[in-house]
Structure 1
Amino acid sequence: MAFTDLLDALGGVGRFQLFYTALLLLPCSLLACHNFLQNFTAAVPPHHCRAPANHTTAAANHSGAWLRATVPLDQAGAPELCQRFTEPQWALLSSNSSGHGAATEGCKDGWVYDHSVFPSTIVTEWDLVCEARTLRDLAQSVYMTGVLLGAAVFGSLADRLGRKAPLIWSYLQLAVSGAATAYFGSFSAYCALRFLAGMTFSGIILNSLSLVVEWMPTRGRTVAGILLGYSFTLGQIILAAMAYLIRPWRWLQFAVSAPFLVFFLYSWWLPESSRWLLLHGKSQLAVQNLRKVAAINGKKEEGDRLTQEVVNAYIQSEFASGRASSSVLDLFRTPAIRKVTCCMMAVWFSNSVAYYGLAMDLQKFGLSIYLVQVLFGLIDIPAMLVATTTMIYVGRRVTVASFLILAGAMVIANMFVPEGEPSLLPNLPPTESREGRLVGEEGAWGMGVMGSGGQ
């Protein structure tokens, strides 16, 4: 007999499983907000070099003319982002003049940003443009490094301390580090706190999935895994809505972090995995949890008949095959497990490179960043419906292989799409263009300049 047989006897996929799964998947939906948060908090607005301090009066009185005379244009006819003329070129105000050959210099006095779409981002606050533009990508890499380290740390803790304790700590750590990110005013503190938030991503995902699966009978596990994917999809749509309503980056950072304090508070009442309790010799507590589950599922009589001996009988096979201790090396210890581990590592690597390479720089799509974020979420819905159906009726291996082949074919086909192809939605209102500039009838600069390209 297996432990899942005991769960079937206590109600199967009953009220407890449904309620328990909902409470665990709700925080997972907001994790997507943190994963893709920098699409909005690190958005790059249109910008150009700030005028020298001794020319501020002229700049204020003749803003359009002053910009044309002090900032050269790029090949697309838009103001250069990182260069200005060393001396004003007033001759350029004539339609027949060109600034070719005029001496230029970097933005020694900083930048002027267009705040019409994004009132503030980490880019505008710390000038992460031009020579410093790589720091913006560094911040996201630091976050993903936290995700990697968190998988090792919280995965190991889950085996030793149970699933519940690391999950509770992850909720608290994300609430505190996320809120603190909105408070501190230095870029180094921002990166350090984002690293801590990234660690909790793994802690929450791994332990939530473990708790859901270990409380779910076998016939409900595929659907539970798909629901986790849908919660992530929901989170992407929630992020787009929140980012549209809350434009300043610090307020948005706080808004997606504060709910985890609520998750931290109610997680204390979530029962630990009885399977983990039994495997670690805590039979009495496991029986208490199972009786509560039986009562919630309307199987109180079956729960009352449970004893430690009866419950242990359901898990004897796992006791017999279990190891006294476990580590990541167990994934490579035997040829069969080593083969599966290496294959899954390759699958996750290729999937992550393709997906995150697209999803973490949405400004390059040439549409409103809010719309693209929603589209990314909505595309997942039919994809997961197909995946759910094929996994149930065809199997997981065929489903994974088919989707990988399809994704690879689409990525390769995208290489042959010429740059500068017109948008599929040409009648949208003025919005951000492919790389951060505003596109509209008059542009963002009051000069009638059509922007394209960016930093």
Structure 2
Amino acid sequence: MEHSKQYFKDPDVKPWIQPSNSSRIIPCETFEHHSKYNSIITQFDLVCSRDILVAATQFFHLFGVLLGGIITTKLLESISPRNTMLLGMYSQIMCGCLTGLVNIFELHMLFRCLSAICCGLMYTAGGVILSDITSGKYRTASMCLFEQFWSIGVMFLPGIASFWSNWSHLYLAISLPTFVLVFLHRWIPDSPKWLLQQGRIREAKAVLEDSAKVNGNTNQIPSDFVDQLNLMAEIMKTKPDPDPWWSIWETYKTRKNLILVHLAWSIFIIVYYGMLLNIRAFGTDHLQINTVIAGASEIIGTFIGFGLIMCTAKKWFLAGLFNIFGGLVTYLAWIIPAEVIGNLRTVFLMLTAMVAKMSISCCLSLLTVCTTELAEENKKKGAAYSAIVWARIWLLSAPFVGATIIFGQLLPQTIFGSLTLIGGIIAGSIHSPQTHPCIKKLQFSQKVHCIN
């Protein structure tokens, strides 16, 4: 009673109606929860004026993602990608379990950040291996579809969560299965390119011979295979290191595209994660099915992006149009009649949001695969590093955009939709050559052409 008098004019008569400080969020001293599921929100009382701490814990997770990529890049200078993955696996098991076991909120945020760093070790090192053991269209496919497993994980998460009634148990359930990856690690190949750069010829030879055996191409291994590997290792030693990431801005003819691609990265990465976190704005009654739909929308969008990369030189323009359309569709949420309530309203809200979810995933596929096309050969690695770090710095703001829901249910979606629209205009202005130009040749008196 004494506490409420600080904020309400008349605490005896429905005090929650007329706060004296004109605030929409009233600080509370104690909370009483009646929920079948013991979530982080109920565990740490992340409600009322403490609701912003939900965004804070998400912020620390995304900060760990940022640090994980930077740390992995540095570790790969001396530790092989395969061993970096193994380090990340063991570390993630430990940090992930501790995240769910600690009962102090500050420690929870710390270990959540550390868990994200460990995931970054696995994710980034795995991407390097995929990039180094594939080439051409197969490399494009592996890089593009690599992102699908994130969406598949999003779709599986509600099902896994349904088996547990406590968030601590859920953290253990998603952390301990990493032991399966530790067991499968013996079959994960190392990067032959990294091994050759370190002069480890014998190990690189073993990896490549094993790959040839799996693919049934052992008869294509040349007789002077070892000599060729030695020559390649010597060339790699004498080859100058890639230009530092800041040097990408020195070339005037690529500067415009690189500025545009950095802006596109920052916008789409915010909207991609922000819209996923904003799913709970559509109600908690259907949170599980809505999360599955969001993951499925991401998969569809990724395949659309993959098709644009493989089939057309106008990939950026078409992806930009798709995102302009997706951004405009999000505004339709404002014209849903007030009479539409309950489950039907949730359906309409999801429809207006998921078109943008597809278009965003489509453009992120292009950004993941085609960013390096915009830089000169010796600056490609720097361009990729610069764009991703830049994007992950801006990603830290995504949870706080979602926190604007306190001013209205549709405000976060409107912000994300506007960003999608702006991102579509930016993406459509990027110009780069077709990723895989088709070779026009005469076959059976018919010409084979690409889509232009």
Sort the TM-score into its range (normalised by shorter chain): 0.5 to 0.7
TM-score, with length taken from structure 2: 0.66
Q: What is the CA–CA distance in structure 2 between the aligned matches of 1:134 and 1:102, rounded to whole Å?
A: 20
- Partner SS state of residue 32, structure 2: strand
Cα separation, partners in 2 of 1:414 and 1:202, compared to 1, 3 Å: same
Q: Percent identity?
A: 17
- 1:286 equivalent in alignment to 2:212: no
Q: What is the CA–CA distance in structure 2 between the aligned matches of 1:344 and 1:277, rounded to whole Å?
A: 32
> Where do residues 172-183 of structure 1 align in structure 2 (5 Å cutoff)?
172-183=90-101
1:154 to 64, 72, 91: 72
- 1:359 equivalent in alignment to 2:279: no
Q: What is the CA–CA distance in structure 2 between the aligned matches of 1:139 and 1:294, rounded to whole Å?
A: 46
TM-score, with length taken from structure 1: 0.65
- Partner SS state of residue 127, structure 1: coil
- 1:226 equivalent in alignment to 2:144: yes
- Partner SS state of residue 357, structure 1: helix
2:263 to 346, 363, 366: 346
Cα separation, partners in 2 of 1:182 and 1:262, compared to 1, 3 Å: same
Q: Deviations over 1:78-104 (max 9, x none)?
A: xxxx98997655xx8xxxxx9977999
Aligned partners of 1:237 and 1:374 also within 8 Å:
yes
Report 1 or 2 for greater relative contact order, CA contacts < 8 Å, sequence distance ≥ 6.
1
> Where do residues 126-145 of structure 1 align in structure 2 (5 Å cutoff)?
126-145=44-63
5+ residue gaps, structure 2, are: 351-407, 410-452
Aligned partners of 2:196 and 2:236 also within 8 Å:
no
- Partner SS state of residue 78, structure 2: helix
Shift of 1:339: 5.7
Shift of 1:140: 0.5
Q: Give the letter aligned to residue 282 of structure 2.
A: F
Q: What is the CA–CA distance in structure 2 between the aligned matches of 1:130 and 1:317, rounded to whole Å?
A: 62
Q: What is the CA–CA distance in structure 1 between the aligned matches of 2:332 and 2:265, rounded to whole Å?
A: 25
Shift of 1:271: 2.6
Shift of 1:392: 0.9
Cα separation, partners in 2 of 1:253 and 1:327, compared to 1, 3 Å: farther
Partner of 1:114: 34
- 1:308 equivalent in alignment to 2:229: no
Partner of 2:318: 402
Q: What is the CA–CA distance in structure 2 between the aligned matches of 1:422 and 1:245, rounded to whole Å?
A: 36
Q: What is the CA–CA distance in structure 2 between the aligned matches of 1:197 and 1:99, rounded to whole Å?
A: 40
Q: Deviations over 1:253-275 (max 9, x none)?
A: 11111111221343244231111
Partner of 1:411: 327
Partner of 1:259: 177
Q: What is the CA–CA distance in structure 1 between the aligned matches of 2:245 and 2:286, rounded to whole Å?
A: 43
Aligned partners of 1:156 and 1:327 also within 8 Å:
no
Cα separation, partners in 2 of 1:412 and 1:289, compared to 1, 3 Å: same
Q: Give the letter aligned to residue 31 of structure 2.
A: W
Q: What is the CA–CA distance in structure 2 between the aligned matches of 1:423 and 1:177, rounded to whole Å?
A: 48
Q: What is the CA–CA distance in structure 2 between the aligned matches of 1:184 and 1:406, rounded to whole Å?
A: 44
Q: What is the CA–CA distance in structure 1 between the aligned matches of 2:344 and 2:213, rounded to whole Å?
A: 55
Cα separation, partners in 2 of 1:187 and 1:310, compared to 1, 3 Å: same
Cα separation, partners in 2 of 1:341 and 1:306, compared to 1, 3 Å: farther
Aligned partners of 2:9 and 2:18 also within 8 Å:
no
Partner of 1:34: none
Q: Give the letter aligned to residue 227 of structure 2.
A: E
Shift of 1:201: 3.1
RMSD: 3.9
Partner of 1:201: 119
Aligned partners of 1:178 and 1:254 also within 8 Å:
yes
- Partner SS state of residue 159, structure 1: coil
Q: What is the CA–CA distance in structure 2 between the aligned matches of 1:423 and 1:385, rounded to whole Å?
A: 37
Aligned partners of 1:291 and 1:304 also within 8 Å:
no
> Where do residues 260-275 of structure 1 align in structure 2 (5 Å cutoff)?
260-275=178-193
- Partner SS state of residue 182, structure 1: helix
Partner of 1:390: 308
Aligned partners of 2:26 and 2:48 also within 8 Å:
no
Partner of 2:41: 123
1:241 to 154, 159, 162: 159
Q: Deviations over 1:177-235 (max 9, x none)?
A: 11111111100110000111121233222211111121113231122123212212211
Aligned partners of 1:84 and 1:107 also within 8 Å:
no
Alignment coverage as a number of residue pairs: 348
Q: What is the CA–CA distance in structure 2 between the aligned matches of 1:129 and 1:317, rounded to whole Å?
A: 60
Partner of 2:357: none
Aligned partners of 1:163 and 1:210 also within 8 Å:
yes
Cα separation, partners in 2 of 1:231 and 1:186, compared to 1, 3 Å: same
1:298 to 216, 222, 227: 216
Shift of 1:134: 1.4
Q: What is the CA–CA distance in structure 1 between the aligned matches of 2:123 and 2:213, rounded to whole Å?
A: 28
Aligned partners of 1:171 and 1:200 also within 8 Å:
yes
